[in-house]
């Protein structure tokens, strides 16, 4: 078994190169040096080979000797050359801004829309102000992590726990197993969205309902079931979902643990897609807007689907 390795991205430092120079002058082997630095022997072999310089030992006598400063200079020069410089011309800028207005992420612009720029470069241009926009344009600006909440030890789920959910559903082996949630638009008692996301195909269903009461949730779900095939539902423990068994088979409903939104991560991520169009505080929403967003999500390419959209995936698999 190999005892030492070089972690990905952990390049040799100038200090480590000075150690290599010292130990090579003392006659230590590459394998011995690898053990001392905790690196793979091949890493040290390659480093020594690249850092050799022709040095005069005495008059008329020359040898190839490893030199740390030369090796570091060579490394830095190659790192600079490895970064391809990409210019920001007007056409590229206009194209990026066009897709940003369509709520496409930089990755999707590059992978599906033919924007011939590295993804990291687009983010760099955004952060440096080269596109004339600020971080407010970012789809998911970074936020500080809040304190994690914990459920009461006396808590009991409304129905059967997600722990009882069959392995076939957990492993996303077939379509038709949905996660459900509501998306609140404003803090006031107002219209909200009922959302369902298929765990496998990421097919999205969105309905605008007057409020998040259990009665209206069930009413909307009944109308959905008339058109869409749903085999199971995974919900949180909100009061709006405590009567799902009135309209859907109880044995096919599973409830996630409290404060464990990652257990319905597929649905939560798609709710974030909705927020691109309807940010928190939106006071007025129309059925036409909701239909547009549902259609947009179902035609939006997904990396996890090999850059197919949910609609394409359902057709081709």
Quote the DSSP letter at residue 8: T
Are 61 and 110 part of one and the same domain?
no
Note down the domain range covering 70.
14-82
214: domain CATH number is 3.30.420.10
Q: 253 - beta bridge partners?
A: 233
In a domain, 9, yes or no: no
What is the per-residue pLDDT for 137? 66
- Within a domain: residue 146? no
In this structure, is residue 247 part of a structural domain? yes
In the DSSP assignment, the letter for residue 258 is: T
167-170: long-range contacts, CB 8 A cutoff, minimum separation 24: 169/199, 169/232, 169/234, 169/254
**Are both 311 and 173 inside the same structural domain?**
yes
Q: Cα 97 from chain centroid? A: 22
Based on the fold, state whether residues 131 and 51 are members of the same structural domain. Answer: no
Residue matched to tokens 């597929």: 266
State residue 77's pLDDT score: 85
What distance in Å separates the CA atoms of residue 97 and residue 105, rounded to the nearest whole number?
Answer: 11
Residue 68 structure tokens: 């740390």
Same domain, 114 and 196: no
pLDDT in tens, the chain (317 residues): 345 555 555 789 999 999 999 999 899 999 999 999 989 999 999 999 989 998 877 777 888 899 999 999 988 888 777 655 567 889 999 999 999 888 888 999 999 998 988 888 888 888 888 888 876 666 665 555 666 666 555 656 678 999 999 999 999 999 999 999 999 988 776 789 999 999 999 999 999 999 999 999 999 999 999 999 999 999 999 999 999 999 999 999 999 998 888 999 999 999 999 998 998 888 889 999 999 999 999 999 999 999 999 999 999 87
Residue 183 resides in a domain: yes
Q: Could you give the number of structural domains in the chain? A: 3
pTM exceeding the 0.75 threshold for the entire prediction: no
Query: Which residue has tokens 């509501």?
Result: 182
Exposed e or buried b per residue across 241-257, where buried means at least 16 C-beta atoms within 10 angstroms of its C-beta: bbebeeebeeebbbbbb
* 61 & 98 share domain: no
| Same structural domain, 188 and 241 | yes
Identify the pLDDT of residue 1.
Answer: 39
Q: In this predicted structure, what is the pLDDT of residue 128?
A: 84
C-alpha span between 18 and 6 (Å, rounded):
18
Same domain, yes or no: 39 and 182: no
CA torsion angle 243 244 249 254 (round to 10): -100
> CA-CA distance, 133 to 136, in Å (whole number)?
8
3-class SS at 139?
coil
Model confidence over 138-187: pLDDT tens digits? Answer: 666 555 566 666 655 565 667 899 999 999 999 999 999 999 999 998 87
Which pLDDT belongs to residue 61? 80
User: In this structure, are residues 310 and 204 in contact, taking their beta carbons and an 8 Å threshold?
Assistant: yes
Asked, for residue 3, whether it belongs to a domain, the answer is no
Q: Are residues 112 and 77 in the same domain?
A: no
In a domain, 156, yes or no: no
- Same domain (yes/no): 188, 295: yes
Are 74 and 195 found together in one domain? no
pLDDT of residue 79: 79
CA–chain centroid gap for 73, Å, is 36
- Are residue 71 and residue 103 in the same domain, yes or no? no
Answer whether residue 143 is part of any domain.
no
Report which DSSP code applies to 137: G
In this structure, the answer to whether residues 306 and 207 fall within a common structural domain is: yes
């Amino acid at each position: 078994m190999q005892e030492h390795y070089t972690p990905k991205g952990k390049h040799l430092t100038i200090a480590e190169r000075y150690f290599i120079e010292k130990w090579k002058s003392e006659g230590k082997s590459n394998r011995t040096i690898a053990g001392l630095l905790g690196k793979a022997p091949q890493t040290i072999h390659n480093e020594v080979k690249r850092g050799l310089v022709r040095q005069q030992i005495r008059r008329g006598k020359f040898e190839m000797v490893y030199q740390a400063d030369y090796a570091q200079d060579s490394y830095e020069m190659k790192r600079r050359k490895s970064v391809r410089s990409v210019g920001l011309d007007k056409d590229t800028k206009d194209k990026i801004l066009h897709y940003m207005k369509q709520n496409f992420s930089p990755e999707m612009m590059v992978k599906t829309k033919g924007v011939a720029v590295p993804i990291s470069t687009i983010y760099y241009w955004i952060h440096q102000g080269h596109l004339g926009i600020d971080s407010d344009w970012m789809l998911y600006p970074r936020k500080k992590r809040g304190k994690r909440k914990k459920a009461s030890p006396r808590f009991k789920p409304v129905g059967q726990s997600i722990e009882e959910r069959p392995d076939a559903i957990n492993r996303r082996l077939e379509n038709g197993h949905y996660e459900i949630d509501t998306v609140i638009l404003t803090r006031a008692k107002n219209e909200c969205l009922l959302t369902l996301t298929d765990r496998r195909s990421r097919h999205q269903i969105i309905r605008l309902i007057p409020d998040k009461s259990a009665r209206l949730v069930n009413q909307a779900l009944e109308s959905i079931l008339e058109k869409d095939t749903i085999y199971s539902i995974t919900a949180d423990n909100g009061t709006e979902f405590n009567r799902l068994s009135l309209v859907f088979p109880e044995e096919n409903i599973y409830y996630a643990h409290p404060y464990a939104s990652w257990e319905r991560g597929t649905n939560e991520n798609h709710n974030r897609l909705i927020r691109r169009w309807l940010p928190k505080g939106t006071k007025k929403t129309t059925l036409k807007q909701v239909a547009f967003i549902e259609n947009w999500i179902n035609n939006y390419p997904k990396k996890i689907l090999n850059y197919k959209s949910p609609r394409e995936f359902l057709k081709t698999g």
